[in-house]
Amino acid sequence: MKILVGNDDGIFAPGVRALANTLAADHQVTVVCPDRERSATGHGLTIHQPIRAERVTSVFVDQVEAWACSGTPSDCIKLALGALLEHPPDFVLSGINQGPNLGTDILYSGTVSAAMEGMIEGIASIAISYASFTDAQFQPAADFAHQFLAHLIKNPLPQPILLNVNVPALPADQIQGAVITRQGIRRYHDIFEKRIDPRGKTYYWLAGEVMEDLEEEGMADSPVFTDVQAMRQNLIAITPLQYNLTSIRALTPLTDWLAPFSQRKSVL
C-alpha cells in the first residue's frame, strides 16, 4: 500500500520516525512534514507566501522518501497530494504526536488537521498520538498503528473516514486494549504569563492547563466511553471524526425558533 505520513511536530521528531520506519516494513511510505514544530496550528494554510519543500535524507530508513515543508501540517498534506506524489496514497497517517489529542484538543491539533486533509480528499486517514509530553517511547504506538492499518486494509470501512487514535503512555503489555470512543470535552484554564524581553518590550506566553474533563449534556449515561475516559482506563481510544461541524440535533429546534423571521417579504 502507498502511505502518506505527516505530522505537526516536525520532520525530525522521533514520533514520525518511529511511525514511518515501522510502516516501511510492509508499505511504500512517503513522509511530508513541517521543517520545524508546528503544533496547535489547527487547519491553517499558507496563502500569503510561497511554500518550499526539500528532500530529507539520513533521518528515515532507506525505503522512505521524505520531504521537509516550510508550511503548516495541512499544507504538507495538500502539497504532497497536489504536487509531490505521482499517484495518490491509499491512506494518510499523521503522527505519532508527542502528547494526546483528546476532546476539544482536536479543534487546535495540527496532527488531526493533517489527517483531516486526507479525509477531505476522500482518503481514509488516521491521526495517532502518544499520551505523554515527555516520554518518547513511541514504538508501542508505532506497532499498534502498523497492526491497526493491516486490520483496516483487510476490513475496509464503507467510506473514507478519519480515525483519531490516542495511545496511553504505557508499555505495550500494560495497555488494556482498544475501544471505539466518542469525542469528549476538555476545559482549559488559559494563563498568559506577562514577560519582558531583553529590549524592555512586553510579550505574553500562553501557558494553559487542563482544569477538568467535562461530559456533554445528555450523554452522561452513554455506554460509549469518551476518548478521555478510555485513556483513564489505559485503553487505546479510537474516535471517528468528520469535518462537517453541523449540529444535526439543533436543526429542527432552530428552524422552529427562527420561524418569525423565515417568512419572505412580499415583493412590492
53-105 residue pLDDT tens = 999 998 999 999 999 999 999 999 999 999 999 999 999 999 999 999 999 89
How confident is the model over 129-152, as pLDDT tens digits?
999 999 999 999 999 999 999 999
E strands, the chain, are 2-6, 28-34, 53-56, 65-69, 91-98, 125-130, 162-167, 178-180, 185-189, 192-196, 202-206, 209-214, 236-241
Q: Distance between CA atoms of 184 and 216, rounded to whole angstroms?
A: 7
Q: Distance between CA atoms of 204 and 216, rounded to whole angstroms?
A: 32
Q: Distance between CA atoms of 164 and 180, rounded to whole angstroms?
A: 10
| Helix (H/G/I), strand (E/B), else coil: 105 | helix
Residue 6, phi then psi, degrees to nearest 5: -130, 180
The pLDDT assigned to 44 comes to: 93
Q: pTM value? A: 0.89
Is 268 a residue whose pLDDT tops 50?
no
Domain 2-184+222-252, CATH among 3.40.50.720, 3.40.1210.10, 3.40.50.261, 3.40.462.20 = 3.40.1210.10
The pLDDT assigned to 251 comes to: 87
Q: Angle formed by the axes of helices 139-154 and 14-23, to 10°?
A: 40
Confidence of residue 255 (pLDDT cuts 50, 70, 90): confident
Cβ-contact 115, 93 below 8 angstroms: yes
How confident is the model over 162-197, as pLDDT tens digits?
999 999 999 999 999 999 999 988 777 677 888 898
The residue with greater pLDDT, 85 or 160, is 85
